[in-house]
Chains A and B, each alone.
Chain A
C-alpha cells in the first residue's frame, strides 16, 4: 500500500499538465457564472458609495440588502463563501444532503460531464506514467467517454440510492427517532457523527468500486463496463486491506490539504490574495483527487506485476489512409 501511495504521488507529480489542465477546467466551468454574478453585484451597487467598503472587505449592510432582492445565482452569494467557511459549507452541504440552488445545478452537471470526458485521458496518463501529448490524451478521452457514460449510469443509480433513499432514512428517520427524547446536545451530536460515519463509509465504498472499475477498464482495455465493475469489485474484495488502507491514506491526504487551507485561508478583505491562496488550495485538491486515481492504479498494476502497463495501444499518426492522403 505504501509503495502504491508513493508511486501514485510520483505519477501525479510527473503529470503537471494534467494538474494544471484540471485546475483550469474548474476555473473555466465556474467562469461564466462568475461573470453573471459579477454583473449582478455591479448592477446592484451601481454608483453607490456602498461599493467603497464592499471593495475593501465586508459591507454586511449592503450584502443583506443585495440578498433580499437577489434571485437565481445572486442567492448563492452568501457569507459562507468567505475563506474556510466555503469548505465547511460545501462539505456540510454534502453531508446533510442540502439541495443545490437551481442556478448551481447546471454548473455541477457541466462539471460532472466534463470530468467524465476527461477521466479516460487522465487515467491513461496516470496509468502509463508518461506524457501522452494532447492528441493521444484527447483521443483517450474520446475513447473512454462513451464507455464511462455507460458506467456513469450505473454509478448514478448507486449514488441516487445513497442520497435519495439511504440518506433520508438515516437523517430524516433514524436520527430524529434516536434523538427524539434526547435533551443533551452532545449526545445527539455523537449520534449524528456516527450516522455521518456510516454514510460516508457507504459513499466511499461505492466510490472505490467505481474507481477500480474505471482503472480496470482502462488498464485492461475493457469494453464491457459491467464487466469492469465486476472486475473492480473482485479486486477490492480480494484485497480489502490494501484497498481500504490506501483509500484511508488518500482521505488523510485530503484532510491535510483542508487543514492547510484552514490555516492559510485569508479573510474577506484580502481580495486577490484570498483568490490566490484559494487557487493554491484548489490545485492541491485536484492533486489529491489525482492521487486517489494514480495510487489506486499503481496498486492494481503492482498486482499485475506490470507497472505502467495499459493494454490499449496508443494511437499513432496517421490513423487512416485518408489522413495520409491530405499530407502535402
Chain B
C-alpha cells in the first residue's frame, strides 16, 4: 500500500467519521479482502493460436454461502452456446431474426468446451472422487435438450452451509470466430467466459441458468490466480495484475492475479500497442491505466485515457472509489465484435479509424464500460435476471459523466460502407434523450416489464428496456427528487452492496430510505409494468367572457333573457389528458399574452383535467410537464399547445432542406439517362 493510498484512506476515514455524505461518500479502500471469497480459481491454460484451441486445468475452491446444503454443483460452459445451431443462445437469435451470421459459419468458426476431468479433491490436496459419472448437461431456463452451456454434477456427500470444497477440472476448447464478444480473428484473441465456471449459489440453492443471447453473467467473488501460455512475443492483457512472466520454448507463461473479482478475462495479440497512464486525482486512490491499442488508433490514445479517467473520477466522487490499483483498457481489433464489454478490472472500448473529436466514440463506450467496474464489477447484481440493475444504472451514470466531461457531443452518421463519418454540427446530442436512447425505449416500450427476468425478454427489447428505460426513469428521478438525493441513493446503494449481489427490492428500498418518500408507486409503473407514459395538452382556448341566458332579478320576478359580453375579460379553458396507462404527477404551465404564467400541479391520475381562468389577457400557450421531468413520456410533441403555432414555418424550413436532398438524389439517378 503506497503513501498516497494511506493518506487517502485517512482522509476517507475522517470524512466517514464526520458523517460527510455528499457529494462524495467514500468507503475504505484496500487491495484485498474486500469481497467474500466464495469461488476462487487457480487456472493453467495454454493457447494454440494456430489451431485456435485452448486447453486448461483449474482448481476451484468453493465455499457454500447459502443457508442450505449443496448436493450438486453447476458449471457454466458458456462456449457451448456456439457448439451447435440449436443451442439456446442461437435459438434466441433465430427468434429475433438475427441468426444468419451464426447459422452459415464453417465448422472452424464454431466454439465449444469439453470437460475432460472433474473430480473432488481431498483435504490434503490429493485427488478425490471422480464426479464425471454424475456429470450431465441441464437446461433449467428453457428445457432445450440441445443446449450444453450449463452442466451439473452430483457431490457424493453434499456441502454444508459455510463448508468449503475443492474441485479439479480439466477441459479443452475451440476458440470461436467471435461470438458474443469472445473469440478470435486473425492474430487477435479475446478470451472471455472461457473456463468452466461455477454458478452462483444463493441462500436457497443454485441460481445458475444457461447462456441466453440477451443476458450476461452472474458469479460469486473470489481470488483468481491464472497462468496463461501464449506464443512468445505476444502482448497479454488480463483481469488483475501480471505478477510474473516466464519464457519457454516458443511461448511465454503470463501469470496474473486478482482478488475480489467475480470473473477473469484475457486477450492476446502480437499487434497491441501498449501504454500506461496514472490516474491520480487528489480525492481518490491512484490507479494505473493500461491501454492496449490497435496500431491504427495510435492517435486516439489520449481520448481513451481521458474517458477512462473521467469515469473513474466522477463515479468515484459520486458513488465510491475504484478500489483496484489497475485497470486495463482493450481497444478491440476491427470486426472482432469484442468491443464494448466489461469484465473485472478490464474492459473493451471500441472506435473507428476515422473518429472525429466531439462525437460519441471512443469516449461514450469507454466511459460506459469503465463505469461497469462499479455497476457490475463491484455491485454485482444478477445480470441474467435483472440486467437493468447494472446496464440501466450505468447508462444513466455514463451519460451524466459525458454531459460534464465530453460536450458538445455531435451526432455522427457513417457513409460508404460505414467508413466515412459525417459529423452533424447542427445536432448536439442531449444527455436526457439521446444518451439515454429514448428512441430505443420508444420502439419497445410495451414489449416487456423490467421485472420480467431478463433472460425471458423478447430478444429485441434488451437495450430498450434494460438500458434505456432504466436510464430514463433514473433521470426522471433525478429531476423529481433532485440530484443530491439521487446521488445519495446511488452512493448508499453502492456502499451497501459493493461485493454483494443486490436484488431490485434492495435498490427500491434505498430509494425510499434516502428520499424520505415511499416511491413504490413509481416503481410499480416503471419496473413492474410495461405501461407507457403519455400526457398531452388537448385544448387551449381564450375567448371574451360572454354569458347568455335567463336571469331572475329578484326572487319571483319575471325571467329576462340577457346576452352580455365582457370585452375586457377573457375566459381561458385548458384541458390536459393522460393518454398512456402509466401515471406520474406533472405540472401544467399556462402562459398569457401579458407574460403572466400560471402553474398547476396535476397528480396525473385522472384521464383528463380541465383548468379555467378569467383574466384580462388571453393565453398563448399551455405546456404539460414544462421542465420535462418525466423523460419517459413517449410523445412530448403533444404536451403543448400554442395559440400561434409555428408548425407551418417549421414545415417550410424542413421541406426546403429536404427538397435539395431530393433534387440531388434525382440528378444522381437521371445522370444515367
Contacts and interface: CB of A to CB of B under 8 A. Distances in A.
Interface of A: 26-27, 29-31, 33-35, 37-39, 41-42, 44-52, 54-62, 64-68, 76-77, 79-96, 104, 107-108, 111-112, 115-116, 119, 152, 155, 159, 171, 179, 181-186, 188-189, 192, 196, 203, 207, 210, 267-269, 271-272, 274-275, 278-279, 281-282, 285-286, 289
26 contacts: A27-B663, A29-B666, A30-B666, A33-B662, A34-B658, A39-B651, A41-B655, A45-B647, A50-B636, A51-B645, A60-B429, A61-B438, A64-B433, A64-B442, A65-B635, A79-B411, A84-B422, A88-B420, A93-B668, A107-B666, A115-B673, A271-B653, A274-B656, A275-B656, A282-B660, A285-B667
A27 B667 CA distance: 11
A57 B221 CA distance: 52
Given A95-B416, A286-B667, A183 B335 contact: yes
Interface residues of B, number: 75
Interface in B240-286: 271
Nearest to B421: A88
B186 A183 contact: yes
B411 to A, nearest CB: 6
B333 interface: yes
B659 A85 contact: no
Contacts of B296: 184-186
Contacts, number: 268
A90 B413 contact: no
Ranked nearest first, the 10 interchain pairs of A and B with the lowest CB-CB distance are A278-B660, A183-B333, A92-B415, A45-B647, A86-B661, A54-B650, A275-B656, A49-B640, A81-B661, A55-B650
Contacts of B665: 90, 93, 104, 108
B424 to A, nearest CB: 6
B566 interface: no
A91 B417 CA distance: 12
Nearest to A43: B647
Nearest to A210: B672
B426 A269 contact: yes
Main secondary structure on A side of the interface with B? helix
Interface centre among A27, A183, A188, by most chain B C-beta atoms within 10 angstroms, is: A183
Interface string B290-329: 0000111000000000000000000000000000000000
Contacts of B666: 26, 29-30, 107-108, 111
Nearest to B425: A267
B614 interface: no
Contacts of A61: 430, 433, 438, 636
Given A46-B647, A278-B663, 6 more contacts: A51-B645, A81-B661, A107-B666, A272-B656, A275-B656, A281-B660
Given A27-B659, A48-B647, A55-B649, A92 B416 contact: yes
A183 B415 contact: no
Nearest to B655: A38
A85 B661 CA distance: 9
B185 interface: yes
Contacts of B642: 47-49, 51-52
Interface of B: 185-188, 271, 294-296, 333-336, 352-353, 411, 413, 415-417, 419-420, 422, 424-427, 429-430, 433-434, 438-439, 442-443, 540, 621, 623, 635-643, 645-673
B79 to A, nearest CB: 20
Given A55-B653, A79-B411, A90 B664 contact: yes
B663 A115 contact: no
A77 B658 contact: yes
A95 B233 CA distance: 41
Given A45-B645, A184-B296, A85 B422 contact: yes
Contact of B413 (A64, A85, A192): A85
A47 B645 contact: yes
B663 A282 contact: yes
B663 A48 contact: no
A183 B647 contact: no
A183 B411 CA distance: 26
A42 B185 contact: no
A225 B567 CA distance: 78
Contacts of B651: 37-39, 41-42, 45
Contacts of A30: 659, 662-663, 666
A41 B659 CA distance: 14
Contacts of A77: 654, 658
B647 A81 contact: no
B659 A278 contact: yes
Given A51-B650, A54-B653, A107-B666, A88 B673 contact: no
A50 B426 contact: no
Contacts of A33: 662
A286 B181 CA distance: 49
Contacts of A289: 667, 670-671
Contact of A48 (B294, B413, B419, B637): B637
B443 A182 contact: no
A38 B654 CA distance: 8
B187 A282 contact: no
B388 to A, nearest CB: 22
A35 B658 CA distance: 11
A104 B430 CA distance: 31
A26 B667 contact: yes
Nearest to B271: A183
Contacts of B640: 47-50
B661 A58 contact: no
Contacts of A155: 672-673
Given A54-B653, A183-B334, A88 B422 contact: yes
Contacts of A62: 636-637
B352 A181 contact: no
Contacts of B434: 60
Nearest to A65: B637
A38 B647 contact: no
B432 to A, nearest CB: 9
A275 B661 CA distance: 10
Contacts of A51: 642, 645-647, 649-650
B353 A186 contact: yes
Contacts of A184: 294-296, 333-334
Contacts of A279: 660
A68 B416 contact: no
B659 A34 contact: yes
Nearest to B638: A48
A55 B646 contact: yes
A89 B419 contact: no
A18 B417 CA distance: 36
Contacts of B656: 271-272, 274-275, 278
Contacts of A185: 296, 334-335, 352-353, 419
Interface centre among B188, B424, B540, B635, by most chain A C-beta atoms within 10 angstroms, is B424
A192 to B, nearest CB: 5
A289 B188 CA distance: 48
B668 to A, nearest CB: 5
Residue in A34, A171, A289 with the greatest tally of chain B CB atoms within 10 Å: A34
A79 B659 contact: no
A189 to B, nearest CB: 5
A108 B672 contact: no
Nearest to A203: B672
Contacts of B661: 80-81, 86, 89-90
Contacts of A179: 335
A86 B660 CA distance: 8
A55 B639 CA distance: 18
A79 B413 contact: yes
A108 B668 CA distance: 9
Nearest to B442: A68
Given A38-B651, A81-B657, A279-B660, A189 B439 contact: no
A86 B656 CA distance: 13
Contacts of A186: 296, 353
B662 A107 contact: yes
A267 B660 contact: no
